[in-house]
């Protein structure tokens, strides 16, 4: 499905880590030194440099399960948020401008809702193949255009329901443990969400080890596109900055389909969703920030980008490759 993933340069990472540890000032940087050494490894350079052509890619989805009342928002809110992004406004554009990052909206799956995963498959084989190809194509386009860091984002009512269903199925985690409050739902709505995820997981119980089939059954076309985007970015040796629960679960799936992907990932922030924390731990990542944000759209990751760039700038200055 994906080509093999070459890992970032471990030798560079070790050298940068040792050089910073040998410096009094370098030791004072704390976790920024580890971030800088990861940046250097991804760049294959002994002196890390800030990312100058980062790109946020927000993939919009439309989920049939949203009609079950699993969110604090009505299903129609997805269209409103997508239109906001198209107009260049909203949290993601604000954060992108602050981070000096450009943003691309992928709205191919924003109009027609996918199947309601509690009672039917999210998509058929043809739509699954289309979504997989789209995510792969976007990654190739971006890398070929010179993008040096990809920041996947998501937008869509019901996204955390899909994320919990995917996470619960693949890890055999009980629905009540995998599900959080998402958009800020009440206890009554939480019970509805638990029931929807439980039913989706029940449908997929007989093929939980078949990742593509699980994706077709209980994810969404936009989720598949995100999985492909992340996996293909790793194949193309381009680092990925991960935001919230939806993207984190997609990253976990990408690691399953393209082993080694996780080495190209850095977690931007941690949301309150239980499946988000579990995915970050499974991928052996430490979030740059702990903001408890559930905004989506890649917003939390975009807020972490200046910290990552500052880590590279500080380490570069200390290592003598850049002006401090």
Model confidence over 182-224: pLDDT tens digits? 768 888 888 889 999 999 999 999 999 999 999 999 999 999 9
- Whether 157 maps to a domain, the answer reads yes
pLDDT tens digits, one per residue of 87-143: 999 999 999 999 999 999 999 999 888 999 999 999 999 999 999 999 999 999 999
* Active-site residue list: 297
CATH of the domain at 227: 3.40.50.10210
Q: Is the entire prediction scored with pTM above 0.85?
A: yes
State whether the Cα torsion 107-113-117-120 is positive or negative. negative
Q: How far apart are CA 175 and CA 182, in angstroms?
A: 14
* Residue in this structure with the two tokens 């910073």, named with its chain if needed: 20
pLDDT > 80? residue 322: no
- Whether 61 maps to a domain, the answer reads yes
- Whether 23 maps to a domain, the answer reads no
| Cα 291 from chain centre | 16
Collapsed DSSP state (helix, strand, coil) of residue 209: coil
Q: At what angle do helices 299-318 and 10-21 cross, to 10 degrees?
A: 60
Range(s) of the domain holding residue 237:
54-304
- Whether 30 maps to a domain, the answer reads no
State whether the Cα torsion 284-286-292-293 is positive or negative. negative
* Beta-carbon contacts of residue 78 (< 8 Å; ≥ 6 apart): 60, 61, 62, 66, 110, 155, 156, 157
Q: How far apart are CA 173 and CA 109, in angstroms?
A: 28
- In this prediction, what percent of the chain has a pLDDT beyond 90? 87
The structural domain count of the chain equals 1
- Whether 318 maps to a domain, the answer reads no
Residue 323 or residue 295, greater confidence: 295
Q: Which residues pair with 233 in a beta bridge?
A: none
> How is residue 128 written in tokens?
């699954």
- Whether 320 maps to a domain, the answer reads no
- Whether 146 maps to a domain, the answer reads yes
Measured at the CA of 193, the angle between CA 188 and CA 195, to 5 degrees, comes to 100
């Amino acid at each position: 499905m994906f080509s093999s993933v070459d890992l970032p340069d471990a030798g560079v990472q070790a050298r940068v880590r040792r050089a910073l540890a040998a410096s009094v000032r370098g030791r004072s940087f704390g976790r920024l030194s580890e971030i800088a050494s990861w940046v250097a490894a991804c760049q294959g350079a002994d002196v890390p440099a800030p990312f100058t052509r980062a790109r946020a890619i927000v993939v919009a989805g439309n989920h049939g399960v949203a009609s079950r009342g699993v969110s604090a928002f009505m299903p129609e809110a997805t269209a409103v948020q997508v239109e906001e992004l198209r107009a260049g406004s909203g949290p993601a554009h604000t954060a992108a401008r602050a981070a000096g990052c450009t943003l691309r909206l992928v709205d191919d799956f924003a109009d027609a809702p996918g199947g309601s995963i509690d009672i039917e498959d999210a998509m058929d084989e043809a739509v699954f193949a289309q979504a997989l190809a789209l995510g792969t194509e976007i990654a190739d386009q971006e890398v070929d255009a010179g993008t040096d860091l990809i920041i996947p984002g998501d937008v869509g009512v019901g996204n955390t329901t899909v994320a919990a269903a995917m996470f619960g199925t693949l890890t055999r985690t009980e629905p009540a443990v995998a599900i959080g409050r998402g958009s800020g739902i009440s206890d009554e709505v939480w019970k509805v969400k638990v029931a929807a995820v439980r039913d989706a997981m029940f449908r997929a119980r007989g093929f939980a080890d078949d990742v593509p089939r699980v994706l077709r059954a209980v994810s969404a076309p936009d989720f598949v596109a995100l999985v492909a985007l992340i996996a293909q970015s790793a194949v193309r040796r381009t680092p990925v900055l991960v935001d919230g629960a939806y993207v984190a679960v997609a990253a976990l799936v990408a690691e399953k389909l393209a082993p080694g992907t996780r080495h190209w990932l850095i977690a931007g922030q941690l949301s309150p969703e239980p499946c988000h924390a579990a995915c970050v731990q499974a991928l052996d990542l430490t979030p740059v920030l702990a903001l408890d944000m559930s905004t989506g759209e890649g917003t939390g990751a975009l807020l972490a980008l200046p910290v990552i760039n500052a880590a590279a700038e500080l380490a570069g200055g200390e290592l003598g490759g850049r002006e401090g």
